[in-house]
Amino acid sequence: MTKKHPVPDYVGRILSSSGVPQGTCFQLAPGYLVTAWHVAQGTLALGDDAVLRVDRLRDPGAGRITARVLAEDRKADLALLAADAAFPGSARLLRGARSVGQAEPVTVVGHALIHETAGNPPVVWVEALGEWQGETRRGDDVTLGRFHSRDVLPGMSGAPVRQRSDDSVVGVVSARYNTADGWLANSVWAGRVDDLRALCAGRVDLDRGRWTGFAAAAGGGAAAAVAGDLLRKHRDGPVIDVRTEPGEPAAAAASAETGTGSGTGAADVPVPGGSGGTVSDAVTEGGSESALERLADWIANNL
């Protein structure tokens, strides 16, 4: 049996105008890319235009395309890009953070900045294995995903965090926590797919079947999951309320961004998020209760 290529065909690199890799990205749908907001911001600050250059991680330097920032969630450290061409593939599944089991094996592959000894060619990409640990809440009301990995490196910001069992994307690499005292060693922060879903609302039309693991409004536990899956298959997804109230830059002295750009030209680059639009966790559901919804409620309340 032939092992599939370790670099998915939907993963790419964000490049400076001179072609130097600054971080990682991935294709959500043809012509739509996702990266960490601080990677996009830092890369744009290096040039004199509003265009990002992108190439495929699997085939560096070939098939370079350009992209522009379509939407951003600075606090969650997420950026949605619109590209002028498409990668061969797109992420197949995008999974809500709270549906991922703790200690679930995950993997990250992305651009890696390693200082090799003189004469050795530079490393292009690295696979980093890890385990999902759940969520963390910051003082500015932002929730991030967290996973353990010893091998996440500078340059991997913006890479998809993928569940190894089904290759579903469960997060977007934001920053590695560089502990000074041993606490939370090997911890990595990740933007949640939940916030990415909100960022895409009204901008990218994705099949509802590609969003998985989001809780339904009714009930809890396994019954709610059954009800939620039933509803997602037969009705429109929930409308996410996105607010655009300005916030304050987050302070995180012990964290270090994993983007590799230098000289961003901006003094307000936060770690891992920043000031800007906040995304509500609230889900607003509309419409009258249908027979299907009543059935889902019954399942959630009686199983």
What number is the average pLDDT over the span 207-212?
Answer: 90
CA distances from 272 to 20, 189, 210, 231, 239 (A): 22, 8, 27, 35, 27
Name the least confident of 142-156, 188-202, 207-221, 224-238: 224-238
Which amino acid type is present at position 195?
A: D
Tell me, what's the pLDDT at 39?
97
**For range 153-172, the mean pLDDT:** 96
Exposed, middle or buried, 253 (CB in 10 Å: 0-12/13-18/19+)?
Answer: exposed
| Average confidence (pLDDT) over 34-45 | 97
Q: Which residues pair with 111 in a beta bridge?
A: 125
* pLDDT given for residue 208 in this prediction: 87
Lowest mean per-residue pLDDT among 35-44, 94-103, 144-153, 247-256? 247-256
Radius of gyration of the chain (CA): 19
The pTM is what?
0.72
The two most distant CA atoms of the chain are separated, in Å, by 69
Most confident of the following: 59-63, 184-188, 242-246: 184-188
Most confident among 36-40, 225-229, 240-244, 273-277 (mean pLDDT) = 36-40
CA distance 37 to 69: 9
Task: Report d(CA 124, CA 116) in Å as an integer.
Answer: 12
Helix (H), strand (E) at residue 129: strand 125-137
Greater pLDDT, 113 or 240: 113
User: Which residue type is seen at 115?
Assistant: H
Over 80: is that where the pLDDT of 18 sits? yes
Rounded Cα distance between 253 and 258, Å, is 14
CA atoms within 13 A on the CB side of 118: 0
pLDDT tens, 107-134? 999 998 877 667 788 888 999 999 999 9
pLDDT of residue 300 exceeding 60: no
Spatial distance between the Cα atoms of 146 and 252, rounded to a whole number of angstroms? 15
88 or 239: which leads in pLDDT: 88
DSSP 3-state of 106: strand
Domains and CATH numbers, the chain: 11-83 (2.40.10.10), 94-192+251-262 (2.40.10.10)
